[in-house]
Amino acid sequence: MQIKTPSLLPILFAVALGTLAPQSTALAAKRPVAKAAAQKKAAAAAAKKALPALPALAAETALAANPPALPAKAWLLMDYDSGEILAAANADEPLPPASLTKMMTSYLVEQSLASGKLKETDLVTVSENAWCRGTSAESCMYLPLGSQASVIDILRGIIIQSGNDASKAIAEHMAGSEAGFAKLMNEEAKRLGMTRTQFANPTGLPDPVHKSSARDLAILARAIIHDSSKYYPIYAERDFKFNGIKQGNRNALLYTDPTVDGLKTGHTAEAGYCLVTSSKRNDMRLITVILNTNSAQARADHSRTLLGWGFGSFEKVTPIAANAVVATPKVSFGKADTVAAGLVAPWLLTVPRGQQVQTTVEINPNLEAPVAKGAVIGKVIATSNDKTVGETALVAQAEVERSGLLLRLWQHIAKLFGK
């Protein structure tokens, strides 16, 4: 008797299908992670494969001896407090800024948050234009198409992950389009005094007209540190995880120098490797800009060199104590004949180490009552080696009321006779 057995093929097929389905879903979910890993691997390979060595670019201006010569298209060292350029080479040539562009993108977001135009919890929708397809050719936050993310997450995605998708999405959210946002960027650049800058997009992706200079980028970095104190700590964060994908900050100095707390890296084939940093040691903060050097390692090394030279070559000095009476100028037609003049705030100057500083006082001419307490009545000018190194306002330390009619008449008569 022959027993018929049912074919095992349909059963095996069903089991296989049930087993593979979850794996397929898992693989699909892991694709952004895999893409991120591939992108990181490609970036690491590109960093190791340095371009041919560039010639060292000597300083064109330097306020202290023995400035470094650095192999880059442009470089700069700025004192944060005064905004003075301590050393620079080719500081004003418009060059492609790559993702350093995103400093302006993040700055506009931060200022909109500060003014209340944006809220941290506002949701930003990812359009097809903003969506990043995950190639190794660009940096991404990996925002899913059609998804939404909060403004504060978008801001971290721009600063830490250098996400082109995050930059495009917030540009569309704030201005309707990348072109509309670029207009806002250029208006803000003009307001800040960035005279060699023209933005065409919020990402820094190559465009023939998209340029900035080392000086302009230092001006922008200084504005971010000064105006965005609530959000500036984000620039020092070493990593950010979104949508299950954790990415590290590309600023290598954040991992090796605890005094460095920002700001941004950039790289395209056209722009080379770029880096803007800021470091604070004791009471001095310095900003560095490196544009178009030949590797990620080089941009970090050159920034370290500039910071080392800057902190080693300069120091902070206090020309006049904050509570000192600097002068007691005469006041005409007041109940008091003079008024004490002093500084409105503590005064620190950055000067070459060991260099002597002299001060001169200038009082506004024809000082007459009434004089309000805190009114500016002159200035102090600091010089070193016959060069002006800074100035600050002098203010009245007390109120001087206007004298009465009879006393004023007597004062007029005394003045006529030179008494």
User: So which residues are the catalytic ones?
Assistant: 99, 102, 162
| Residue corresponding to tokens 């100057």 | 349
What DSSP letter does each residue of 307-345 carry, written as one string? HHHHHHHEEEE-SS-TT---B--B-BTBSSSB--EEESS
Q: Say how far residue 250 (Cα) sits from the centre of its chain.
A: 15
Give residue 230's identity as a one-letter amino acid code: K
- Rounded to whole angstroms, the Cα distance separating 118 from 100 reads 23
Do the beta carbons of residue 280 and residue 262 sit within 8 Å?
A: no
**Residue 149: strand pairing partners:** 124
Let me know the angle formed at the C-alpha of 318 by 313 and 324, rounded to the nearest 5 degrees.
175
Q: How, if at all, do strands 74-79 and 85-89 pair?
A: antiparallel
The encoded tokens of residue 215 equal 């000086």
> Number of C-alpha atoms within 13 angstroms, CB side, residue 273?
26
Q: How far is CA 122 from CA 113, 149, 151, 152, in A?
A: 10, 8, 6, 8
Classified as helix, coil or strand, 123 is: strand
- Rounded to whole angstroms, the Cα distance separating 339 from 327 reads 8
> Number of C-alpha atoms within 13 angstroms, CB side, residue 330?
7
Q: From 167, 163, 168, select the one nearest 142 (Cα to Cα).
A: 163
What DSSP letter does each residue of 15-33 carry, written as one string? HHHHHHHHHHHHHHHHHHH
Q: Say how far residue 170 (Cα) sits from the centre of its chain.
A: 19
